[in-house]
Structure 1
Amino acid sequence: MRNRSRTLAALATAGALTLTLTACSSDDDGGSAETPADGDWSGETLTVMHFEGQDSAMGIAWDRAIEIFEEETGATVDLQLTAFEDLRTSAEQLFDSGDAPDVAEYNKGNATAGQLAAIGVLENLDAAYEEYGWGDMLADSVATTAQYNEDGIMGSGSYYGVPNYGEFTFLYYNEDMFTEHGVEVPTSIEEVEAAAQTFADAGVTPFAESVQEYPLGQLWYQLALSQADRDFVNAYQLYTEPVDWQGAEISYATETIAEWVDNGFISSEVTGMTAEDAGLEFINGEVPMFYSGSWWYGRFLTEVSDFEMGITNWPSTELTPGSGGNMWVVPVESEQPELARVFIDITMRPEIQALLGDSGGLPVAADPADITDEDAQALIELFNEVNERDGLSFYPDWPTPNFYGDLNGVLQGLVNGDFTAEEAQAELESYYEDHVADIRD
């Protein structure tokens, strides 16, 4: 794939999960200021917080949305940029304080948005969904992550956020390194391992990875999903049945990660590496493969300049980590909840959604005809493959508020040799069950 432009695909037609979602009626969902009769909000300030890079697809799209918002309302935007990890750890306190932004990008899932919705830190957006028609713009797979019940479990209840892009994980590969070493694009897990062995034998570490942050955890989950079915996903994510932590799915994933470290497919140095470190290894042409998310796509198209980049879905699986993307939320302490809803609606306009796609994101409400670049179409095809098999299966850290750190910590121990695979699974089971046992009962 030639790195000519930063483009992506429309997600509006992508139906994925079979969950039936119904929006519950609600009381007024906030609002401290009356809408001016002439729509002129001059003198007002809207505080917007997000964690996207300036040159990322979302950063580009949100900047344009801010311009339109200021032009149309007369209000001023106070843009506050933060880091994903910083907001993940501080949101509960920040959103319930006098320093809360008026609207913020926030992570979806039971452990994040669901938890904050359950404790009343996020505004209920049911009335806004009805007013602006956002629900009609979202595929079921995307809307799943916007609704939470009274226990903070996704998939039913009221709306507490607005996803405006999608995401999923797949394999990025360096076509030049594949050609140099006589490696074909893998179409089975056996071919993945054969390719990795070829690179390892040549003294090249096959996979860019990080266990300090999310990449290795998502690879671990993909390996488990390759042995799983939808019942496993529902049990793990929605607590429908007990999860067998020594069963075939999780055992295969954990044992495979341990084997790949032993075989040199994954460096033991990943315990000290961030996701950014892993991404830069791939960008710089130091490793041939990187299993990660569509959020890297636009950046890679821009920054990979010394080799041809390819993308392919992980083979030998029906299920894939992915969901609607992060979403806009309105904190309960927002001083401008109505303006926040106006801004959110602007980000859902076809113009902004198309810009998101043309810049390397996965928009949820773009007209596919507006996005025609070959790089965009490549990702469309990849994403459609996943949706056609109802493959989106969320992310491994969603089930509990602390499981992101728990999973990374246990995998660090596995990579370091502090845990056997069985011991690692027992540790994960204890973390998981401490939170979900009562919910499942």
Structure 2
Amino acid sequence: MQRLRRVAAAAVVAALAATGVTACGGDNGEDGSGAKVLKLWHYEGANSAMGIAWDKAIETFKAEHPGVEVRFERKAFEQIQQNAGMIINSSEGPDVMEYNKGNATAGLLSSQGLLTDLTDEATKRGWDKELSPSLQSTARYDDKGVMGSGKWYGVPNYGEYVMVYYNKDLFTKYGVKVPTTLAEMTAAMDTFVSKGVPPLGMAGAEYPAGQLFYQLALSKADRSFVDNYQLYKNPVDFHADPLKYGADTFAEWVRKGYVSKDSASLKAEDMGTTFISGKAPMIVSGSWWYGRFKSEIKFNWDTFLFPGNTLNAGSSGNIWVVPASSKAKNLAYDFIDITMRPEIQALIGNNGGVPVAGDPAKISDSKDRKLIENFNAISAQDGLAFYPDWPVPGYYDVLVSGFQSLINQSKSPDQVLDAIAKPYQDGVAEIKRG
């Protein structure tokens, strides 16, 4: 999930001071006393699937590198996101770090020479064999920082994708079957509307609306569209399908009452808590909700893939990167490699995450197994289409504004397409100019 932030350069000074990390000198992670050190940062919660798995990876690393001190720090997402460029270009930075994937983040740092080229390690350690082409897209960047080709600058360990979460109790109560086509899904939503139940939870003030638009567009898209839209292979016509279909259908869903006009001002958290409370039959959103739903929901619920789509919004999760300034690169490579091992990948899966190299047979819970099997099916057919706000910096806010206007019906689909087309085209032109 792309979450771009901007911060004044002055804030970096405070962020660096807040880390409290002593700079390391020398090669191979050696500090002033001669002891080997690996400095590692990530921003996953201690009880999250990735946090649990990476704690185990640290434990394994320590056992296999008895002379190495691991200096791990858990950072806030925003702290790394906002200040990464300046932090990793200083002596205060880590040797290996979780970082956000995409052109405007990892791609930008790679183009500035701030990240280590991992291509040889990816080949030597087999990461290039374990990751599907669409997962590799977020690991590889060209000399302009555009993802999808070029050198490896990161390694993803988990995945994420957009699906439909549904309330099984409400489906049973109203005699609705799980849809397998888009036509069946609209019929299901017609049933709920006829009973006075808004069928689809939504949030217009944040990412969910743009992701629904993208899922609808992807129902009429192929891989060439994704390559054009995300990787700038060819120009994109916003007033032709599949984008026109996505906007027109979204507007139709609002008119038919599938999406409430009141949701224009709601945030993703509002949508999630509405589903948790049992009030929404369905939401279209990502696997990042799965662990929370599993722990908080009291009714019967499940998931299904967006019906009829072969392409779905999704990607690898965030990636491990090795700053060019790292003094312990070989140790960093060893740690990344441990996170790709079957036992670590299984830990991600057994705690509600989506491992990129996991074996579903090693996952004990049937619902967790389904989450991973669906991801593997999408990934195997090169069906991960990334996210609608990824192509250019600042595009997230453009999409939020556009689809709020579609939900509250202050703009027509054509007007919204006009509003989101120009920033995209201007941003792509800027990136191509380098």
Runs of 4+ with >6 A deviation: none
Correspondent of 1:274 among 243, 263, 267: 267
**1:76 aligned residue (70, 75, 78):** 70
Distance 1:343 1:232, change over 3 A: same
* 1:407 counterpart residue number: 399
Moved more, 222-231 or 400-409: 400-409
Unaligned regions of 5+ residues in structure 2, if any? 1-24
1:217 to 202, 210, 213: 210
Name the CA distance, whole Å, in 2 between partners of 1:106 and 1:244: 32
- 1:179 matched to 2:172? The reply is yes
Structure 1 residue 389, shift from structure 2 partner: 4.3
Given that 1:66 and 1:343 are in contact with CA atoms closer than 8 Å, whether structure 2 keeps it comes out as yes
**Matched residue of 2:72: which SS?**
strand
In 2 relative to 1, CA 266–333 (structure 1 residues): closer, same or farther, beyond 3 Å? farther
Deviation at 1:358, TM superposition (A): 1.1
How many residue pairs align between the two structures? 405
Q: CA deviation at 1:44?
A: 3.0
The Cα of 1:226 is off from its aligned counterpart by 0.7
From 331, 337, 341, the equivalent of 2:323 is 331
Closer, same or farther in 2 for the Cα pair 1:264/1:396, shift >3 Å?
same
Q: What residue in structure 2 maps to residue 19 of structure 1?
A: none
Maintained 8 Å contact 2:278/2:299: yes
Counterpart of 2:387 in structure 1 is: 395
Structure 2 CA distance for partners of 1:410 and 1:377, relative to 1, 3 Å: same
Q: What does 1:161-180 align with in structure 2 at a 5 Å threshold?
A: 161-180=154-173
Question: What does the per-residue CA deviation read over 1:86-105, in whole Å, with 9 as the maximum and x for residues that have no partner?
Answer: 64444344443455343322
Tell me: CA distance 1:289–1:87, structure 2 relative to 1, closer, same or farther (3 Å). farther
Give the structure, 1 or 2, with the largest relative contact order (CA under 8 Å, sep 6 or more).
Answer: 1
Residue 363 of structure 1 deviates from its aligned partner by: 1.5
Match for residue 150 of structure 2? 157
In the alignment, the residues of structure 2 paired with residue 281 and residue 137 of structure 1 have an alpha-carbon distance, to the nearest angstrom, of 38
Matched residue SS, 1:108: coil
Paired letter, 2:73: L
Q: In the alignment, does 2:387 pair up with 1:382?
A: no
Gap regions ≥5 residues in structure 1: 1-30
Q: Are 2:247 and 1:254 equivalent residues in the alignment?
A: yes
Alignment of 1:298-317 (within 5 A): 298-304=291-297, 306-317=298-309
TM superposition shift of 1:387? 4.1
Q: For the residues of structure 2 that align with 1:75 and 1:248, how far apart are their CA atoms?
A: 55
What is the TM-score with the length of structure 2 in the denominator?
0.84
Question: For the residues of structure 2 that align with 1:113 and 1:107, how far apart are their CA atoms?
Answer: 6
Do 1:49 and 1:81's aligned partners in 2 also have CA atoms closer than 8 Å? yes
- Per the TM alignment, residue 275 of structure 1 is displaced from its structure 2 partner at its CA by 2.5
The answer to whether residue 183 in structure 2 is matched with residue 190 in structure 1 is yes
Contact 1:240 1:440 in 2 (8 A): no
C-alpha displacement of 1:220 = 0.9
CA distance change for structure 1 residues 49 and 385 in 2, over 3 Å: closer, same or farther?
Answer: closer
Partner of 1:118: 111
How big is the alpha-carbon RMSD for the aligned residues of Structure 1 and Structure 2?
2.7
Letter in 2 for 1:75: E
Return closer, same or farther for 1:106/1:273 CA change in 2, 3 Å cut-off: farther
CA pair 369-42 structure 1, distance change in 2 beyond 3 A:
farther
The TM-score with structure 1 as length reference comes to 0.83
2:19 equivalent in structure 1? none
From 412, 418, 427, the counterpart of 1:426: 418
* Higher mean C-alpha displacement, 151-160 vs 119-128: 119-128
